[in-house]
Structure 1
Amino acid sequence: MTEAGICEGRVAVVTGAGRGLGRAHALAFAAEGARVVVNDLGVGLDGAGGSAGPAQQVVDEIRALGGEAVANGDDIATTAGAASLVATAIDTFGRLDTLVNNAGFLRDRMLVNLDEDDWDAVMRVHLKGHFLPLKHAAAYWRAEAKAGRTPDARVVNTSSGAGLLGSVGQGNYSAAKAGIIGLTLVASAEMARYGVRVNAIAPAARTRMTERAFADTMAAPGGDAFDAMAPENVSPLVVWLGSAASAAVTGRVFETEAGRITVMEGWRPGPTADKGARWTPAEAGETALKLLADSEPPQPVYGA
């Protein structure tokens, strides 16, 4: 582990940290001096089952490299679990500085075949599983600020290209990931006064969720070639966003994959027309078509 990394002295919580991106983030934070709470339920790709093994294995890896970490198996999509997650950081390491919301799974279906239970399950783990840890961490940081100990805190949420553009066969996942962006914007505005910076990433990497759906794209190269889809490529930006060095950055969304980082520029006004009075339907339609002709075409939905 680095003797004096950019997260030296900080305490970071990473959800869904037993495998894939979360594991890479946890190891990267530890390598930069953070003490890490490794949260994972050890469930299957669809959220079924559960095991304490994946989280403990990451903790063991960190400790073997000289770092400090503790495993946490709470269900962060419940109030009690999210509260316990935050308490684990405070009780074990005395503080909480960084929250990385990463946990999630997939239940892909075309909309006409998407069951209500599959909609609810994906919304629960992704969107509610972001909201509740954020809520309890924010309450802790607000209390610290009101006690005169203004924190230098960070939240990194995990959205997706599916949340930015949509993805065929992933209506539930796309909606949840779009909701995470909205939550990020609100949290960054509400929590700034308490010393909290909140940002989001939309990563592309090889994980259990992507290596099946995009097998050719996600395959690891042979030999010494750069492994563009390795999850470890995403973690450096996450660690920087989770460090004190990112104090000037909040309410932003970054796409990150391989060696590329992109600042995403979201909804902003384009061509507009103002009649100064009520339109008729025919006038509104004619005007809308003219405005669309002058606007930038949208990026295509993934899989379209």
Structure 2
Amino acid sequence: MSATLIDGKAYAARLRARVADRVAQLVPQAGQAPGLAVVLVGHDPASEVYVRSKGKQAVEAGMKSFEHRLPATTPEHELLDLIARLNADTQVHGILVQLPLPDHLDARAVINAIAPHKDVDGFHISNVGMVGTGQDAIVPCTPLGCMMMLRDYHSDFRGKTALVIGHSNVVGKPMARLLLNADCTVMVAHKHSTNIPELARMADILVVAAGVPGLVKGDWIKPGATVIDVGINRVDADTPGKTRLVGDVDFDAAAKVAGAITPVPGGVGPMTIACLLANTLSAYCHQHGLEDAPLLHDEQDS
């Protein structure tokens, strides 16, 4: 392998440590710890694991964790009532509603019911619009983590050609906006694009969030490019009855060509919760009129 491995697990650990240090500094000034409320509707096993991890890491960072678990049959008005109470709760500085929601609930209405200054997922239409127009706002966690790691390999984004494969509201679209705000020349490809390999070969920065195992082949990679693989896909392992996690990029082939690349697992994934804590800290600072120390750069690597 010739590419530099971008160790998201180690980066996330350092980011969580910086968040914890900052929380410890600020709590005496504010008189209370940052509070993160997570709402889970239903009993999706993957969501259950994710919510437990969020709560555990929030507490380890010196924050308060509030979990609200509701039955899958919860009426929409009851969920909206809970969000209204959390919006008004001064102990809660960040609110996250775990997605996906059961089909009878309108996810857009639920997300937009969260107060924008407590929307630590960065999905509220106000935050989406502010990010899109280059204003300071809460940025979705996964794209934020991708930008943090990219900045350690690109001190200056101006003029870099970037391709984002995938155009979801959670990753693809906000990722493209962040790269554009950083003065990249940005292309976005999706399932209806007909020339993705050709576009990929032009990209100095390639961010792949398509949800297709091994979609991007080694010969799609521009030599020396930085590759961020957001995909987390569970596929059959060589051992019968076993599974393994793979990304959207053919890692072994791409690593022979790229300049730097994230692995799966251990790349983008660990950064998502770390950035959730960073967003909660930012929201807490804003609500208490405290200075929000920048956490964008990894001091160890810059």
Please classify the TM superposition score into its range, dividing by the shorter chain length: 0.3 to 0.5
Greater Rg over alpha carbons, structure: 1
Higher relative contact order (CA closer than 8 Å, sequence separation 6+):
2
What's the TM-score once normalised by structure 2's chain length? 0.32
What's the TM-score once normalised by structure 1's chain length? 0.32
